[in-house]
Amino acid sequence: MPPVQPLNHTDVLACMERGASLAEVMACLLEALQQRDPATLAALAAQSARIANYAARVEQERSEHVHILDLAIGGSGTGIWDRDVQAGTIRYSPGWAAILGFDADELSTRIEDSYGRIHPDDLPKVRAAMQAHFEQRTPDYSVEHRIRCKDGSYKWIASRGKVVRRDAQGQALRMVGTTTDISALRVLSAQLQQHVELVTHLTDQVPGLVVQYRLSSQGLAAVTYASAGIREIYELTPEQVAQDPSLIERAIHPSDRAGYRASLAESAERLTPWHREYRVQLPTQGVRWRQADARPSRLQDGSTVWHGFVTDITERKETERQLLQLASVDDLTQLPNQRSFMARMEQELARLRGSPQARATVLMCDLDHFKRINDRYGHVRGDRVLQHFAAILRSQLRKDDGVGRVGGEEFAVVLSGASPAQALLFASRVQKRTLDTPWIEGDTRIALSVSIGIATMLADDADIAASLSRSDKALYRAKRAGRNRIELGES
């Protein structure tokens, strides 16, 4: 292998001819000088002016490039810095100095002076970030911190940089970077955070749950926001439903789950407001009623997002139930009242008309000599006798049968799916039970009997009055025939 030829003055000139960097030219020059060859030294001395001019021209071009770059980004609130790590110095562009209110010539180049302007609370993280990059543990240097301005106030800046030259051992030699004034962004961010906290506080104070729910076009659900009210509404936390949205659906009562899904799907398809009342089954509260109201909107990716709220309507539902009971139940006997029984008759007639093979019978029941009981024992005991007979009727009913108090001492029964023969057996049981179970209170014993008229409900009846009229006529015949009797009406 031929020996490596030492560099001489021609190599230095060749570097300059091909436009090498100043650092490369200086490296060639240094190596040539180290040869201490008299001819080379003489030749370099003769070219000293040329070498000096080249160095000046390269430095001038670099300065111009930096100046142009500084002008280009100066209006954006960004400045440039260039750090000589070994020398412990740092140079700033005019734009950088302007961020802090300085002229370029007012800033020293000592790196310690630069550190001295950093807010004391932020200095440790700045030094740590810088050292991590020097040691090549991070690809670049990036940190946000406060820095003292000329007037003594502090600004927030974002400083980013990168080591651009290292020695053979990997030690940092030169580092360049930019600094951007982010004070306005920090103020805006703080204001935005205040608004977020305010909205969060307000929604957390609203009774019930304020929620943002998202459903992708592929059917994937996400709860993107849930107020603190979710703890009361579903006994869950915002963090739980953020990780697993299906927890909400699992809290819904099994009987209401299908309707819940269907109504949500319809709202998504038609983009119509979603309103749903449903039950939930919770570990602590048990079964409760909830009402959901939300408005959907379609996003560009095809997903649907709802903004709405869920409230507890358990008390309202209980009030509705009580009002419905008052409107449909006879207060004395706790059987359905006349209005409620008539509605049950309408349902049965509709069933017959929809199914030619279906059948049903209607019974009218009247306590015999009830006026005598009232006159002899008083209305209070008469009322208790009615309650006693109502209990007898209720004890004989099947699940699908209907019963109601339709007059003073008159009661009506509709036996769903029963033939006249089956209705006769039912009437006989009621008759026997009534005879065998007198009303007794203390020393008072009141024997009872009942007259019953039976009629078949027909699919071609004009209305429910037809079968009621036939059973009422049969009841009239039973009473005229001596009471305590059962009569079948004409079809």
Annotated catalytic sites, by residue? 409
Distance CA 384, CA 404 (A): 17
Angle at 45 between CA 41 and CA 46, to 5 degrees: 120
According to DSSP, the residues that pair with 449 across neighbouring strands are none
Report the half-sphere exposure of 387 (CA within 13 A, side-chain side). 11
Please answer whether residues 266 and 276 qualify as being in contact, where contact means their C-beta atoms are separated by less than 8 angstroms: no
**Which residues share a beta bridge with 414?**
362, 402
Amino acid of residue 401: D
Are 449 and 366 in contact by the 8 Å Cβ rule? The answer is: no
Distance spanning both ends of the chain, measured CA to CA = 128
Residue 180: both structure tokens together:
């951007």
| Cα of 310 vs its chain's centroid, Å | 11
Cα(242)–Cα(453) distance, integer angstroms: 64
> How far, in Å, CA of 164 to CA of 186, rounded?
30
Distance CA 424, CA 422 (A): 5
| Residue 411 region by backbone torsions, left for phi larger than 0, else alpha for psi between -120 and 50, else beta | beta
Contact 471, 366 (CB under 8 A): no
At 313, is the secondary structure helix, strand, or coil? coil
SS3 annotation, 154-213: EEEEEEEEEEEEECCCCCEEEEEEEEEECHHHHHHHHHHHHHHHHHHHHHHHCCCEEEEE
Measured CA to CA in angstroms, residue 422 lies from 344, 353, 416, 429 at distances of 20, 21, 11, 11
SS3 state at 471: helix
Question: Of the candidates 163, 170, 121, 119, which has an alpha carbon nearest to the alpha carbon of residue 141?
Answer: 163
Contacts for 476 with CB less than 8 Å, ≥ 6 apart = 453
Q: String of b and e for 118-148 (b: at least 16 CB within 10 Å)? A: beeebeeebeebbeebbeeeeeebebbbbbe
